[in-house]
């Protein structure tokens, strides 16, 4: 059995000197010492090149300048007041909802994310659910889309190179009845070229690594380093196997109901894209006409696509064009032939991807009905800011501007509804309108036309160039507050747009070509007539309305059927209907009627408009994905990278909106319980409801009327007010604890002093006795006493033994007598129980006593 520890006073002392958890603090315990330290040092955040922000304490304030001492290095720095951001009280550490932060600023958000990240407090949680056939197919659609639409980039090994909107339909009982997937802006240029240390789409590497040798022979496949379009060769992805992923992709196709013929046909098209990259041209010696010295790759391509190699070569090198009412053949230069082959590769892959999405939708939406309700999931690339940005970045950033506008508007609506429920008066401002100038700069059709409208307009002029487009944009939008034109555009950005996430520099290289997305219709017609049914179906779309294409001064010019006007349009995105409708130019920019050809910008703008209309009719929830580091390692957070993403994905923009209203709100009961210590005499001891009590407390706190609003169930505060109240509360609690500790330590000291006095009194008695003994020990009579005393003790012991022996003898005698009595009683008992004989009974009956008894009984 263990001995009990000596607690008592020591335990009480340890309790009084240790930290005390503040009431109402989060799950992570915040000590009173840390609260007091925060309040006493006036901790703040200051900019840091390495970590984004670092903590410091204010030493002195001089007008617009603040002198702070850095926490880590103890170095003193003088900064402007705008550079210093307030730090939240420790009770808000690792808070789940960052809208509850009383100090809403970049540094506090970054710190909170960092603390939660290192503590493993993730925001996402996916529960386990049962799966039916449709749910299983819906999940298996993702590996297929990732194989054909995702690629390895420098920052992400599985980056989505397209946007998608997944619509999951539910019936009235809440069961999934179908789904539909819409895709946006596939980065098809990645199929032909990639940046350093990046890969093309996963399916190309999966095909080369995962197919059997027999299938490789049928598809005419080689190794990755044999294909020009795989510029980086076979770049491995850490922790991934292309062969295993190919097996998973094919298994997913089986679950989705793909037939073996469909799967094989898709792989043929992918192999043909690789073969297109191996077709090479050379310039003739005496003229600019291109020739194909080696048609091995072309033969493999035509074998895979089921077309004639001679007709294909003729369509590439000498396509037929319409001149007036007749068709003639025009020789192409090497540059034009290379462009035509690359455009064909991109168009083939894009059509295959669109067919794949359509095939998946056919499997998922078998009932062909919308359902009682739906959940939509929009997965699209975030804001992109590179050193120089192109047309794809403009489309992506334009989309994010629209989504951020929806986010701001949604926050405004939610705030408005909350204030209305609580009966709060506030001048409402729709912050979604703040982004409208930048959106107008991109999408406005006229007065003045935006960037997309001007780009479409330039695409209609045969001799237009990227330089003429930039000049027209500068002329039309030069005075726009969100537009900036650098003074020296050579080799640098052509123009800049100030988005909500920051200034973005754009380089208008090949923008006209990307917007019109031209394609040689000779090759398209040839592919539509392919002997392979899959290829023919893939290219049959609107083949009758494809415009005639030829090349003039290394720039593509397209002439529409039935029109003498030369124009450049997107022939890969053609609308059905009559192609002979009129085209008008004027102050409103480019106008198209039904049946007219659409540019990539037009089609993307229309699809985005439809998407935004769908999102506005729902109750959206926004999820912001943050990459912690570029090294793709767990447990590491690059502060500057996270801070850039917070700026780009609109989190800090949302914070700006929150600061305009009353972001901090607290229920009456919690407000009273936590801050009543600041107003001890404001509330009477009788019963009072929470609202009246809160109003009395606020009145006693003497807060400015503009800093708070009292609702029906909560008190609303401006940003920073709760931090001030928390600071005052911490000082009050600290003072109370100090006074309690002082009284307790005084009580313990007095108790210890009393005990010490008793010990001193006992010590004095012992000292007197010791001194008396020293005096008596040599006295003769004392010696005699010490010798006689033991003898007296022996005599007393003998007397006690004799007395105890006499008592023992008496006890033995008593036991003997008791035993004898017991024996006599036992004998008598035996005689009584013995049955009497007749001789013994008869004399008894003759006795006078017996007869008298019998006579008396008979008379009675």
pLDDT at 594: 45
345 & 198 share domain: yes
Quote the tokens at residue 228.
Answer: 């020009």
What values do phi and psi take at 709, rounded to 5? -140, 140
The C-alpha atoms of residue 405 and residue 428 are separated, in whole angstroms, by: 16
Q: 822 in a domain, yes or no?
A: no
Q: Which residues contact 577 (CB under 8 A, 6 or more apart)?
A: 545, 594, 595
Q: What does the pLDDT look like over 464-513, one tens digit per residue? A: 899 999 999 999 999 999 999 887 655 578 899 999 888 899 999 889 98
Q: What does the pLDDT look like over 240-284, one tens digit per residue? A: 899 999 999 999 999 999 999 999 999 999 999 999 999 999 988
Give the rounded percent of residues in the chain with a pLDDT score beyond 90.
32
Res 532 pLDDT > 80: yes
Res 8 pLDDT > 70: no
Give the single-character DSSP code of 532.
S
340: three-class secondary structure by DSSP: helix
pLDDT at 11: 38
The C-alpha atoms of residue 391 and residue 504 are separated, in whole angstroms, by: 12
652 & 669 share domain: no
The C-alpha atoms of residue 308 and residue 297 are separated, in whole angstroms, by: 13
Q: 30 in a domain, yes or no?
A: no
108 & 239 share domain: no
Distance of CA 16 to the CA centre of its chain: 42
The C-alpha atoms of residue 309 and residue 296 are separated, in whole angstroms, by: 10
Quote the tokens at residue 674.
Answer: 């936590």
413 & 463 share domain: yes
Is residue 346 a contact partner of residue 188, using CB atoms and an 8 Å limit?
yes
Span 583-590, average pLDDT: 33
Quote the tokens at residue 416.
Answer: 């408005």
- Can you give the CATH number for the domain in which 681 is found? 3.30.70.1590
157 & 207 share domain: yes
CB atoms inside a 10 Å sphere around CB 710: 16
The C-alpha atoms of residue 396 and residue 380 are separated, in whole angstroms, by: 8
pLDDT at 849: 52
Q: 292 in a domain, yes or no?
A: yes
Q: 183 in a domain, yes or no?
A: yes
The C-alpha atoms of residue 335 and residue 317 are separated, in whole angstroms, by: 11
pLDDT at 554: 36
What values do phi and psi take at 176, rounded to 5? -70, 130
248 & 339 share domain: yes
What is the number of helices (H) and of strands (E) in the chain? 27, 23
- Can you give the CATH number for the domain in which 410 is found? 1.20.58.530
215 & 303 share domain: yes
Instruction: Tell the residue number behind the tokens 């043909």, with chain if given.
Output: 272
Between 413 and 713, the more confident residue is 713
Confidence of residue 767 (pLDDT cuts 50, 70, 90): very high
pLDDT at 383: 82
- Can you give the CATH number for the domain in which 109 is found? 2.30.30.360
Is residue 517 a contact partner of residue 572, using CB atoms and an 8 Å limit?
yes
Q: What does the pLDDT look like over 808-841, one tens digit per residue? A: 999 999 999 999 999 989 888 888 887 766 555 5
Res 35 pLDDT > 80: no
Question: Taking CA 326 as the corner, what is the angle to CA 321 and CA 331, rounded to the nearest 5 degrees?
Answer: 30
Q: 612 in a domain, yes or no?
A: no
Quote the tokens at residue 140.
Answer: 């298996």
pLDDT at 322: 76
Q: Bridge-partner residues for 854, per DSSP?
A: none
CB crowding 536-556: b at 16 or more within 10 Å, else e: bebbebbeebbbbbbbeeebb
Q: 704, 719, 734: which is the final residue of a domain?
A: 719
CB atoms inside a 10 Å sphere around CB 337: 26
Instruction: Tell the residue number behind the tokens 């696509």, with chain if given.
Output: 305
pLDDT at 573: 34
Q: 679 in a domain, yes or no?
A: yes
pLDDT at 20: 36
Where does 65-149 have alpha helices with state H? 106-118, 133-149
Q: What does the pLDDT look like over 278-321, one tens digit per residue? A: 999 998 877 888 889 888 999 999 999 999 999 999 999 999 88
Residue (of 204, 525, 182, 152) closest to 349 by Cα position: 204
Residue (of 279, 344, 348, 276) closest to 522 by Cα position: 344
The C-alpha atoms of residue 234 and residue 243 are separated, in whole angstroms, by: 13
- Can you give the CATH number for the domain in which 340 is found? 1.20.120.720
What values do phi and psi take at 652, rounded to 5? -70, -30
Q: 853 in a domain, yes or no?
A: no
pLDDT at 620: 85
152 & 102 share domain: no
Identity of the highest mean pLDDT range in 107-121, 364-378, 802-816: 802-816
101 & 143 share domain: no
Q: Bridge-partner residues for 282, per DSSP?
A: 291
Is residue 661 a contact partner of residue 677, using CB atoms and an 8 Å limit?
no
First to last CA, the chain: 81
pLDDT at 13: 34
The C-alpha atoms of residue 484 and residue 115 are separated, in whole angstroms, by: 39
pLDDT at 836: 64
* Average of per-residue pLDDT values in the chain: 81
Residue (of 331, 344, 334) closest to 550 by Cα position: 331
414 & 535 share domain: no
The C-alpha atoms of residue 61 and residue 140 are separated, in whole angstroms, by: 61
- Output the 3-class SS for 530-561: CCCHHHHHHCCCCHHHCCEEEEECCEEEEECC
In this structure, the strands spanning 664-667 and 85-86 are: unpaired
221 & 170 share domain: yes
The C-alpha atoms of residue 630 and residue 346 are separated, in whole angstroms, by: 29
pTM: 0.68
The C-alpha atoms of residue 638 and residue 789 are separated, in whole angstroms, by: 91
Q: Which residues contact 246 (CB under 8 A, 6 or more apart)?
A: 147, 206, 207, 209, 210, 211
Q: What does the pLDDT look like over 686-741, one tens digit per residue? A: 888 888 899 999 999 988 888 898 999 999 988 778 888 888 888 889 899 999 99
Q: Bridge-partner residues for 714, per DSSP?
A: 667
> Domain limits at 451?
391-508
Overall domain count for the chain: 4
Calculate the alpha carbon distances from 471 to 149, 439, 467 in Å: 35, 20, 6
Span 774-778, average pLDDT: 86
What values do phi and psi take at 593, rounded to 5? -105, 175
What values do phi and psi take at 452, rounded to 5? -65, -40
178 & 66 share domain: no
Cis peptide before 448 (omega within 30 of 0): yes
Is residue 501 a contact partner of residue 405, using CB atoms and an 8 Å limit?
no
Q: 378 in a domain, yes or no?
A: yes
Instruction: Tell the residue number behind the tokens 């004639």, with chain if given.
Output: 308
Quote the tokens at residue 707.
Answer: 């800093």
Quote the tokens at residue 289.
Answer: 């006409």
The C-alpha atoms of residue 552 and residue 325 are separated, in whole angstroms, by: 19
Residue (of 321, 332, 320, 328) closest to 290 by Cα position: 332
The C-alpha atoms of residue 613 and residue 182 are separated, in whole angstroms, by: 14
Residue (of 517, 542, 543) closest to 600 by Cα position: 517
Exposed, middle or buried, 110 (CB in 10 Å: 0-12/13-18/19+)? buried
Between 102 and 201, the more confident residue is 201
């Amino acid at each position: 059995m263990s001995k009990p520890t000596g607690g008592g006073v020591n335990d009480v002392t340890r309790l009084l000197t240790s930290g005390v958890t503040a009431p109402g603090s989060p799950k992570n315990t915040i000590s009173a010492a840390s609260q007091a330290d925060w309040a006493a040092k006036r901790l703040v955040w200051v900019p840091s090149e390495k970590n984004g922000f670092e903590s410091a304490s204010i030493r002195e304030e001089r007008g617009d300048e603040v002198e702070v001492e850095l926490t880590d290095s103890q170095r003193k720095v003088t900064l402007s007041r705008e550079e210093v951001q307030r730090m939240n009280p420790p009770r808000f550490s690792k808070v789940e909802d960052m809208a509850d932060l009383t100090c809403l600023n970049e540094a506090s958000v970054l710190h909170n994310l960092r603390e939660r990240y290192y503590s493993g407090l993730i925001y996402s949680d996916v529960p386990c659910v049962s799966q039916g056939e449709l749910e299983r197919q819906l999940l298996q659609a993702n590996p297929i889309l990732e194989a054909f639409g995702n690629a390895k980039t420098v920052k992400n090994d599985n980056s989505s190179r397209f946007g998608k909107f997944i619509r999951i339909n539910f019936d009235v009982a809440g069961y999934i009845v179908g789904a539909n997937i819409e895709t946006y802006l596939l980065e098809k240029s990645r199929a032909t070229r990639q940046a350093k240390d990046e890969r093309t789409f996963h399916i190309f590497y999966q095909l080369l690594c995962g197919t059997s040798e027999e299938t490789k022979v049928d598809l005419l496949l080689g190794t990755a380093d044999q294909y020009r379009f795989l510029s980086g060769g076979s770049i491995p992805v850490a922790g991934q196997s292309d062969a295993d992923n190919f097996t998973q992709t094919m298994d997913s196709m089986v679950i989705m109901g793909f037939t073996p013929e469909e799967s094989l046909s898709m792989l043929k098209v992918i192999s043909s894209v690789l073969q297109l990259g191996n077709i090479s041209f050379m310039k003739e010696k005496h003229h600019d006409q291109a020739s194909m010295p080696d048609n091995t790759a072309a033969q493999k391509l035509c074998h895979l696509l089921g077309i004639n190699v001679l007709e294909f070569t003729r369509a590439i090198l000498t396509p037929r064009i319409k001149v007036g009412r007749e068709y003639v053949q025009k020789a192409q230069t090497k540059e034009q032939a290379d462009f035509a082959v690359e455009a064909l590769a991109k168009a083939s892959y894009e059509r295959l991807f669109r067919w794949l999405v359509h095939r998946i939708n056919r499997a998922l939406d078998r009932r062909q009905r919308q359902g009682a309700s739906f959940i939509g999931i929009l997965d699209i690339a975030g804001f992109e800011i590179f050193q120089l940005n192109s047309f794809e970045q403009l489309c992506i950033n334009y989309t994010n501007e629209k989504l951020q506008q929806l986010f701001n508007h949604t926050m405004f609506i939610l705030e408005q509804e909350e204030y209305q429920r609580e009966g709060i008066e506030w001048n409402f401002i729709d912050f979604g309108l703040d982004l409208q100038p930048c959106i107008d700069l991109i999408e406005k059709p006229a007065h003045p036309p935006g960037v997309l409208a001007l780009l479409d307009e330039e695409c209609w002029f045969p001799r237009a160039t990227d330089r003429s487009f930039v000049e027209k944009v500068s002329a039309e939008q030069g005075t726009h507050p969100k537009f900036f034109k650098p003074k020296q555009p050579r080799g640098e950005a052509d123009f800049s747009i100030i988005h909500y996430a920051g200034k973005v520099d754009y380089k208008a290289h090949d923008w006209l070509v990307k917007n019109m997305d031209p394609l040689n219709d000779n090759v398209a017609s040839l592919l539509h007539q392919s002997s392979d049914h899959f290829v023919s179906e893939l290219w049959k779309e609107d083949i009758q309305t494809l415009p005639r294409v030829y090349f003039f001064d290394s720039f593509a010019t397209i002439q529409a059927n039935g029109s003498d006007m030369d124009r450049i349009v997107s022939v890969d995105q053609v609308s059905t209907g009559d192609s002979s409708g009129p085209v008008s130019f004027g102050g409103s920019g480019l106008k198209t009627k039904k049946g007219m050809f659409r540019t990539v910008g037009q089609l993307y703008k229309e699809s985005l408009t439809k998407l935004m209309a769908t999102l506005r009719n729902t109750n959206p929830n926004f999820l912001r994905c943050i990459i912690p580091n570029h090294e793709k390692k767990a447990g590491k957070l690059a502060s500057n990278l996270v801070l850039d993403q917070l700026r780009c994905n609109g989190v800090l923009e949302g914070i700006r909106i929150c600061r305009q209203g009353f972001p901090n709100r607290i229920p009456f009961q919690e407000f009273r319980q936590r801050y009543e210590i600041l107003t001890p005499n404001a509330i009477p001891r009788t019963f009072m409801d929470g609202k009246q009590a809160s109003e009395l407390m606020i009145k006693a706190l003497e807060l400015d009327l503009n800093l708070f609003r009292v609702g029906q169930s909560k008190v609303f505060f401006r940003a920073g007010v709760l931090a001030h109240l928390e600071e005052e509360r911490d000082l009050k609690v600290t003072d109370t604890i100090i006074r309690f500790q002082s009284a307790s330590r005084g009580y313990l000291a007095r108790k210890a002093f009393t005990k010490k006095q008793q010990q001193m009194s006992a010590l004095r008695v012992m000292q007197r006795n010791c001194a008396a003994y020293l005096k008596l020990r040599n006295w003769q009579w004392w010696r005699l006493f010490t010798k006689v005393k033991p003898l007296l003790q022996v005599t007393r012991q003998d007397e006690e033994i004799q007395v105890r022996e006499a008592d023992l003898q008496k006890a033995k005698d008593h036991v003997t007598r008791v035993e004898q009595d017991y024996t006599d009683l036992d004998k008598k008992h035996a005689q009584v129980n013995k049955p009497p004989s007749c001789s013994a009974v008869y004399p008894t009956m003759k006795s006078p006593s017996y007869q008298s008894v019998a006579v008396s009984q008979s008379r009675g």
